[in-house]
Amino acid sequence: MNNSNQSEIPRLRAFNFTIFGTSVLVASYFPLFYAGLGFSKSQIGLLYALGPMISIVANLLWSIASDKFRTIKKIMLILLLGEIIMSAVLSISTSFSVIVLVITIFYFFFYPVFPLSDTLAINAAKRANKSFITIRIFGSIGYAFFALFIGYLLSFLGSSRTMWVTIGIAGIALLITLFMKDQSAPVAKMDMSGIWRILKQKELLWFFGCVFSLAIAVRMNDAFLTVTLNDLGASEDMIGWSQLASSLSEVPIFLLLSIYGEKIKELPLLIFASLMFATRFLLVSLADSALDIILVQTLHSLSFGVFYVTSIRMLTRLVPDEYRATGMALFTIAWSSASGLLSGTFGGMAFEQFGRERFYMIAVGFALLACIGFASRYMIRGPRPTIAPVPAAHEAERKDLPE
């Protein structure tokens, strides 16, 4: 086994650990930064919604650039440098219209870091004969660490220093990138003919519809959880504890389901996960204190942990290898991009107009709708469908795609 391949693994683990610090900031502390500037809930929701909208275009463009120039490292350096520059501009911006423009550019650099990082990790793990999870799990550990560390740091510095913390963490990631080996980018391209073949599957369409409904509820919570905690008097360090509770709780569930999950059919697990999401959001709506919400966050393991592993498993069953990139792209649009755009835009207005309790009851409704969808499909579905295999003429192209 090549020693250079082995030596690359620790660097990628450190990189995954670090970049999830910026994910903590964007998901949990940027909304507090906006609230500190005096923005309304509707304005905060709009700023959140810009991210998923931009990610659709940004991920595509930077993946094409990475593939065209056959480099991931150089693209990653550009992305991280762009994050740092935009964070510096955000730190001195106070006008809502200016921040809309700057955060849009920030998201353009921020979101593509993660899929490209996964590509680096998958390729390096394959060369070193290791499992991808041995690298990726350091992202979850990093998220848990930074959730707590950033919370205490900002409780000392104040939320106005959020962007300077972002610059520091992105700077560390940039430094680690300088010492990583470059790789060409064998990114699987979306097969446009595959979209039609996939969308002809009734079971897969049903699955995407349920995922989208559940995702609206999840993204509503993601956008306004820290705002809710702040309204209940939580300090930045308490918000860090809430993120720590959720991120650490998912690790054992990931490991357990990777070992034993195949013994249980997908739809019963998805029904269970949807019910856990609904229960989680119901408890947040009824919570009287920030401590109550932190305790509720431990349900992240039984909701997101079960859902994510099971949904990826179901997707790989329904979509054959030759259309895997297409299927994953459609799943990402349903789970992150389209749902985040909708929940951020209308969620902010709902929170402002109806208050926390009704806002979270709306989320409960979407989660229960997904639960009913999964349950009804479980009761009425027929034989498992399959997609016709890829034509022989395209077989040579398929061999160039990563497995």
Is the distance from CB of 90 to CB of 36 less than 8 angstroms?
no
Contacts 24+ apart (CB under 8 A), 63-69: 63/112, 63/115, 63/116, 63/185, 63/187, 66/116, 66/185, 66/187, 67/185, 67/186, 67/187, 67/189
Please give the pLDDT value at position 292: 93
Please give the pLDDT value at position 387: 45
**Secondary structure (3-state) at 287:** coil
Token pair, residue 327, equals 């299927």
Q: How far is CA 349 from CA 185, 199, 287, 359, in A?
A: 41, 33, 21, 9
Q: Mean of the pLDDT values across residues 271-286?
A: 96
Per-residue b/e over 183-213, b at no fewer than 16 CB within 10 Å?
bebebbebbeebeebbeebebbebbbebbbb
Please give the pLDDT value at position 204: 87
**Secondary structure (3-state) at 200:** coil
Q: Which position has the higher pLDDT, 53 or 131? A: 53
Residue 383 has pLDDT above 70, yes or no: no
pLDDT category at 110 given cuts 50, 70, 90 is very high
DSSP assignment string, 326-345 = HHHHHHHIIIIIHHHHHHHH
Please give the pLDDT value at position 140: 82
What is the rounded distance in angstroms from the CA atom of residue 223 to the CA atom of residue 231? 14
Q: Which position has the higher pLDDT, 28 or 338? A: 28
Residue 76 has pLDDT above 80, yes or no: yes
| Highest-confidence segment of 125-129, 130-134, 317-321 | 125-129
Residue 389 has pLDDT above 70, yes or no: no
Rg from Cα positions in the chain: 21
Residue 64 has pLDDT above 80, yes or no: no
Q: Which position has the higher pLDDT, 63 or 356? A: 356
Average pLDDT, the chain: 84
Q: Which position has the higher pLDDT, 32 or 330? A: 32
Q: Which position has the higher pLDDT, 397 or 151? A: 151
Please give the pLDDT value at position 87: 97
pLDDT category at 194 given cuts 50, 70, 90 is low
What is the rounded distance in angstroms from the CA atom of residue 217 to the CA atom of residue 364? 7
Please give the pLDDT value at position 319: 77
Give the count of beta carbons closer than 10 Å to the beta carbon of residue 78.
14
Sequence-distant (≥ 6) Cβ neighbours of residue 327 within 8 angstroms: 194, 198, 204, 315, 318, 319
Please give the pLDDT value at position 367: 97
Please give the pLDDT value at position 385: 45
Q: What is the tens place of the pLDDT at every residue in 216-258?
A: 999 899 888 988 998 898 888 888 888 888 888 888 887 788 7
Instruction: Report which secondary-structure segment, H or E, holds 133.
Output: helix 133-157
Q: What is the tens place of the pLDDT at every residue in 335-381?
A: 877 788 788 778 888 888 889 999 999 999 999 999 999 999 888 86
Residue 403 has pLDDT above 60, yes or no: no
Is the distance from CB of 43 to CB of 56 less than 8 angstroms?
no
